[in-house]
Amino acid sequence: MQMEQLYQEIILDHHRSPHHAGLRDPFDTEVHHVNPTCGDEITLRVALGDVEPGSGSAGSVVVTDISYEGMGCSISQASTSVMTDLLIGRTVTEALGILDEFTAMATSRGTISGDEEVLGDGIAFAGVSKYPARVKCALLGWMAFKDATAQTVSRPNDVVTQTGGSAS
Amino acid sequence: MTSLVAGPGHTDTGSPAFNSEAIRADFPILERTVRGGKPLVYLDSGATSQRPVPVIDAEQEFLTTHLSAVHRGAHQLAEEATDFYESARLRISRFIGAPSAEELVFTKNATEAINLVAYSFGNATYSDEPEAARFRLGPGDEIVVTEMEHHANLVPWQELCRRTGATLRWFGLTDDFRLDLSNISELINSRTRVVAFTHQSNVLGTVNPVAEIVEAARKVGALTVLDACQSVPHAPVDLAELGVDFAAFSGHKMLGPSGVGGLYGRYELLSQMPPFLTGGSMIEQVFIDHSTYAAPPARFEAGVPMTSQAVGLGAAVDYLNDLGMPVVAAHEAELTGYALQQLSSLDGIRLIGPSENVDRGGAVSFVVDGVHAHDVGQILDNEGVAVRVGHHCAWPLHRRYGIAATVRASFAVYNTVSEVDVLVDAVQSAQKFFGGRG
């Protein structure tokens, strides 16, 4: 495989100028994830908000912000940046659906090229799946988002306490 | 494969006996290509070394002719297998400078060897046997490690401190990548019970002053535990002469099989230490409510041990002895010196380890400005160059120098100067790839 296929311009661009970088308030949950094999780490915050205040179901909860800080390789940094573009503004249900598709592509050993309609710039990471040692890099930010979101939605009343919605 | 060294007459070490091509021919894996036809340039021997044909053959011969459980059974195969196993122990013990074969315990790797010591000390803490007293630890006692330790020689001591209430202390590192010994007399004091340190850093390549540390430890009656994983495979090592109380090493880093390693311990200590793992083989007598234990090394080899791996490791030390460890060390020193010189001449490369080829071994770690180690490794891999990237199980060391990850090239006797050139070219490719686009 040519390295240009693995490190597509879109990846290098996001690596050089990551979107939505930095830690911001308000947020519901902050998590710290590491890749123990290489030492890369990320601190990621998720803020969720209700589309219809009080409706309470995950389908109506929106990802209002994802902010992050970390150190890592170009793949992990760019993947997190792309993720924030894709998931901010989506409902939690939609976001987790996109996450599932991204995960399936990244772990497919090159058999799934990814649906651009769903993954947008994320399909640039299809090449990563051919390098098993790099899959964890591509998923570092995504797994942090999944964890932070799961913690938020499983916590009673939390969604509304920091994001300004009314009590459910 | 195409010769990677100059023709006849060229000697990498200046020794007429050294024949790089003949050595490489003993390692069939070096002939393979990777990533679309690139010749393999294997510079990851610090993680796992490749195995020569005599090691592979020794394992195969044992498996096809003599395989049986050792130290049990009344049949011919059991006798033969036991002889092979014990012969390997004898040859390996001589190789590391152990005064007797009984001072070498087979373990599955160095990590297990260090844990064996740490858990034995922990068990001594809860033992009422009088001879266990010298190993007991408690609040007020101190265990000293260093900031350059591999996790295998750090985490077991953290855990032992947690279990016993002892305090963990450590040597810091200097800006020029050496142990900071300026506070040695304060650090190793009357409360110190154990000093665990590496002979040669797996990241920096730094070779530590064993004699000075051992002397300080002896003065206060502390026991010394040496991580010899990165020294024993690459240079002549005489553990008795070094004077350490315990030392650990791994087979797979010294041209031998994985699944076998060794713990050296002075017999006097091994014979007083309580066991770590218990069960079959390690007992003297067993009653329904209590047991007594065999003499070392059997006391520390519970269950049916690895056999073909031990036999293979015996063949590996024979192979290294045939080459001659001074010759191996000289060759690797030449490669290290050349790599240091070539890498330092590049802009945007920072060596993480002594740049002078003195008191250092063949682990050459570096960072490339603006490019994460994982990304450098990917480009190197694409050029056929196998290196390790990350923190190399030495996270505190990386924190000390404010870096998340390094690229590490590590050498063995089968590497060549030309391979260092391939590495240096590939590093430049990585700089170009990530610096020159967009």
> Which residue of chain B has the CA closest to A75?
B375
Q: How far is A153 from chain B (nearest CA, A)?
A: 32
pLDDT tens for A75-98 read: 999 999 999 999 999 999 999 999
- Residue B155 forms contact with A (CB below 8 Å): no
B373 neighbourhood in chain A, CB within 8 Å: 38, 73
Q: Which of B393, B394, B405, B412 is catalytic?
A: B393
- Residue A10 forms contact with B (CB below 8 Å): no
CB contact under 8 Å between A12 and B382, yes or no, is no
pTM, two decimal places: 0.91
pLDDT tens for B323-346 read: 999 999 999 999 999 999 999 999
Residue B73 pLDDT level (bands cut at 50, 70, 90): confident
Report yes or no: B398 and B405 within 8 Å, Cβ to Cβ: yes
CB contact under 8 Å between A13 and B438, yes or no, is yes
B436 neighbourhood in chain A, CB within 8 Å: none
Q: How far is A123 from chain B (nearest CA, A)?
A: 19
- Residue B437 forms contact with A (CB below 8 Å): yes
pLDDT tens for B418-428 read: 999 999 999 99
pLDDT at residue B325 in the model: 98
- Residue B390 forms contact with A (CB below 8 Å): yes
> Which residue of chain A has the CA closest to B383?
A3
B229 carries an active-site annotation: no
pLDDT at residue A95 in the model: 96
Least confident of A46-55, A62-71, B226-235: A46-55
- Residue B382 forms contact with A (CB below 8 Å): yes
pLDDT tens for B238-295 read: 999 999 999 999 999 999 999 999 999 999 999 999 999 999 999 999 999 999 999 9
CB contact under 8 Å between A39 and B378, yes or no, is no
- Residue B267 forms contact with A (CB below 8 Å): no
Q: Work out how many CB contacts closer than 8 A connect A with B.
A: 54
- Residue type (1 letter), A84: T
pLDDT at residue B5 in the model: 35
Residue B26 pLDDT level (bands cut at 50, 70, 90): very high
> Which residue of chain B has the CA closest to A4?
B433
pLDDT at residue A41 in the model: 93
Nearest CB neighbour to B390, from listed A3, A9, A37: A37
